[in-house]
Chains A and B, each alone.
Chain A
Amino acid sequence: MANFNIDAQALNTYDAIVVGSGISGGWSAKELTARGLRTLVLERGRDVRHITDYPTTNMQPWEFEHRGQLRKDVKDANPIISKCYAFYEGTEQFFVKDAEHPYVQEKPFDWIRGYQVGGKSLMWARQTQRWSDFDFTGPARDGFAVDWPIRYADLAPWYSYVEKFAGITGNKDGLDVLPDGEFLTPHEWNCVETHFQKQIASKYKDRHVIMGRAAHLTSPKQIHYDQGRAQCQHRTICERGCPFGGYFSSNSSTIPWAAKTGKMTLRPDSVVHSIIYDEKKGRATGVRVIDANTKQMTEYYARLIFVNAAALNTNLILLNSISSRFPNGLGNDSGTLGKYVAFHNYRAGISGEYDGNLDMTTDGRRPNSPYIPRFRNVYKQETGFLRGYAAGFQAGRSSQTDMSGMGADLKQSLLNPKLGGWHVGSHMMGETIPKESNYVALDQSLKDPYGIPQLKIAIAYDDNDEKMIKDYQEQMTEMFQAAGFTNIRLRDDKRNPGLDIHEMGGVRMGKDPKTSMLNKWNQLHAVKNVFVTDGASMTSTSTQNPSLTYMAFSARSVDYAVKAMKKGLV
């Protein structure tokens, strides 16, 4: 028996374990295998292979039984996930149903999840703006959180590194608030977007309208063809999975790349219960995994462990990793684990109309839109609230169909729609302040279907967010008026936190082990062979979409970890 156990242990031992195969886990896997490490990638959901497992990707609109509309029983059974803009008849298979993974809402929180190989990288919105030093120095300047242990210069080469491989479309705009990257051909503007850009540039010296940077192959290079990916075809049904690999996902890019090394073992249906800490060795030795089908627990061992389970589930795993050395969760000497969670405030929007450029229109579709980088409180504190917001912006024309009448007349007008005027719209992406009172914790009694404690979530807006919403509405109204837009309407949809799908923090980085969980290498201060490089590691949220930053952190952190391991430091 003893021999058998030793064999089993050897069989389950790898050089590295990556927990999660989403946007950051895919990168961890790619970088670890590229350095020759035998890497086990654990994914709690099912396998989703590129192309083969995108069942709706080539379905025409008329091929959907309900033309895209959700069934009532699906909506009734899933009040949370049904709120997500990307959840419809063509994408149901990629989202976690409400009943599949219950959690406790101490305060209302819409937790949007994708449990499968590739995670949410399959359905993400693909916006990839770099963060700037205004983001990394923000907490120290404004005193609302601990100082980031890194600066933009630490991350800049890693941004370049991941951008080149992932393929990012964008324009070099030369803005300090939104640094340029390694860009493929930018997307085109339409006439009214250009008009808005010019009006804003002439009226505000510090406000810029740029084309969004997005993970789309507008002009693929050899490195993208080598991944089996091809030029984006502008179908704009990305969330169903793309057979061209036109946008970046783990499934189309990092996971097959890691597989090609022969060093990766991908194990879907593997729910990580906790990380094993060995008190004698003073480090983590592996993870406990519950097979999603058999519910049996197995242990896997490795020298390095990367936790990329997505922000809140990474918190859950660390909180559930209890030992006598760490009774309050792995590496939680500071007591900050699960706390200082923040997100992006997407509540407000604005719309309007424009009477100019009526002789021009657009042709084709664009999976991207212009972007207004943060302009509030950038160089100094100048408003009654902390931090600021970025904004999406878009203009378009659509055909207007006269639906009056009945019979042949109606048919005639349906088939001869008139081109409507230009409509314009914007939405905010506000930075929220990480607070101790915005936290996640293990519920003391409720368990999930695998016997793991349910996550209790207590995250809410505060007065700073309300002020920011008001300011966004005022400033955007002024900017829309300056551009000659009319019929301006404001929106505050009062959505719950979570629906932004940008939850971050709980395992924050920092210089001081007394007030943070991770050091500047995304390494647990107290457990040197455990790294967290997903959204959980964020000290503050900035106003930019975070995925590109998780990719850069993952690549940078693996580079450090493998070098440190070879030197015997971890």
Chain B
Amino acid sequence: MGTTRPSGLIREVLIDRLFVLFGWSDRRIVRIFEKFLLNKKLNAASVERRNALKTLAGALGGLVALPGWATGWTAESVQLTKSFLPADQIETLAAVVDTIIPATDTPGAKELNVSQFIQKVVADCYDKAAQDALSNGLVLTNDLAQKAYGKPFGGGDATQRTDLLKQMEQSTEPAQATFIKLVKPLTIRGYLNSEYVMTNLTHYEFIPGHYHGCVPVKK
């Protein structure tokens, strides 16, 4: 990440606005950024980005109005103040998502707060039946773990935990299969839509700037 230039999106928006307003070149705008933001370390911290923008806006004599979205950043968008799950189930859920998508040479679902996302989306977007299925499923998972390896689910090693979830996925017991059918796609969704994965692994383009209709498939 550049240390003296606003990060990608903001930079592009501002460059574009300044180009439109004054017809300045990209290079000239970047020079202005550098002049006024010389000692500003711009990183993901929203306060710094906001301050940098304010500095810039001030430097240009208020010609650039600070857009509303510039004040709306928060470091963590999923703020969970209270969960519908009791503490022990929250712990189990974290272990479940970390078993479905574990840390390898890159972070796993637990580290990426996927269990927080699941609690949030199930609490706010799903019905009572799904909320119960999640909660009961976590209790059931612990019970099955006790039977299988004599510990709560999270106490098992990676192989024990993975084998248990696979077994539940294949199970003819409706409660077991239902739980996995609920929690696995949500884990996958939370993981693939996390900032870390979209930014570093799948390289999501927020502003493609183009559409090319016919390009060869990369081998």
Given contacts A403-B185, A406-B169, contact A55 B217 (CB under 8 A): no
- Taking the closest CB of chain B, its distance from the CB of A88, in whole angstroms, is 11
- Decide: A406 and B214 in contact? CB cutoff 8 A: no
Task: List chain B residues, Cβ under 8 A from A411.
Answer: 101-102, 104, 108
With CB as the reference atom, state the residue of chain B lying closest to A366: B211
- Decide: A361 and B211 in contact? CB cutoff 8 A: no
How far is A371 from B136 in the complex, measured between Cα atoms in Å?
50
How far is A70 from B124 in the complex, measured between Cα atoms in Å?
9
Given contacts A188-B212, A365-B211, A411-B104, contact A54 B20 (CB under 8 A): no
Task: List chain A residues, Cβ under 8 A from B211.
Answer: 187-188, 234, 362-366
Decide yes or no whether B201 CB sits under 8 A from chain A: yes
How far is A71 from B158 in the complex, measured between Cα atoms in Å?
34
Decide yes or no whether B19 CB sits under 8 A from chain A: yes
- Decide: A414 and B188 in contact? CB cutoff 8 A: yes
- Decide: A361 and B69 in contact? CB cutoff 8 A: no
Q: A534-567 toward B: CB 8 Å interface, digit per residue (1/0)?
A: 0000000000000000000000000000000000
- Decide: A407 and B162 in contact? CB cutoff 8 A: yes
Number of interface residues of A (CB under 8 A): 57
- Which of A188, A366, A406 is within 8 Å of B162, CB to CB? A406
Decide yes or no whether B72 CB sits under 8 A from chain A: yes
How far is A359 from B217 in the complex, measured between Cα atoms in Å?
5
How far is A229 from B78 in the complex, measured between Cα atoms in Å?
33
- Taking the closest CB of chain B, its distance from the CB of A228, in whole angstroms, is 6
How far is A191 from B213 in the complex, measured between Cα atoms in Å?
7
Decide yes or no whether B204 CB sits under 8 A from chain A: yes
Q: A241-259 toward B: CB 8 Å interface, digit per residue (1/0)?
A: 0011000000000000000
Task: List chain A residues, Cβ under 8 A from B158.
Answer: 407
With CB as the reference atom, state the residue of chain B lying closest to A51: B67
- Decide: A67 and B202 in contact? CB cutoff 8 A: no
Task: List chain A residues, Cβ under 8 A from B165.
Answer: 406
- Decide: A364 and B127 in contact? CB cutoff 8 A: no
- Taking the closest CB of chain B, its distance from the CB of A294, in whole angstroms, is 25
- Which of A234, A361, A403 is within 8 Å of B208, CB to CB? A234
- Which of B121, B198, B208, B214 is within 8 Å of A235, CB to CB? B208
Task: List chain A residues, Cβ under 8 A from B201.
Answer: 415
Interface residues of B in 4-30 (CB under 8 A from A): 9, 12-13, 16-17, 19-21, 23
- Decide: A189 and B69 in contact? CB cutoff 8 A: no
Stretch from B31-39, B87-95, B139-147, B189-197 contacting the other chain: B189-197
How far is A57 from B206 in the complex, measured between Cα atoms in Å?
11
Decide yes or no whether A62 CB sits under 8 A from chain B: yes
- Decide: B125 and A60 in contact? CB cutoff 8 A: no
- Decide: B68 and A360 in contact? CB cutoff 8 A: no
- Decide: B21 and A55 in contact? CB cutoff 8 A: no
Decide yes or no whether A474 CB sits under 8 A from chain B: no
Decide yes or no whether B172 CB sits under 8 A from chain A: no
Give me the interface of A with B, judged by CB distance under 8 Å. 51-67, 69-73, 187-191, 193-194, 225, 228-230, 233-235, 243-244, 358-366, 401, 403, 406-408, 410-411, 414-415, 419
20 A-B pairs whose Cβ atoms sit less than 8 Å apart in the complex:
A51-B67, A52-B65, A58-B13, A60-B198, A61-B204, A62-B77, A66-B125, A71-B124, A193-B213, A228-B20, A228-B21, A234-B208, A244-B16, A362-B214, A362-B215, A366-B213, A401-B188, A406-B184, A408-B104, A411-B108
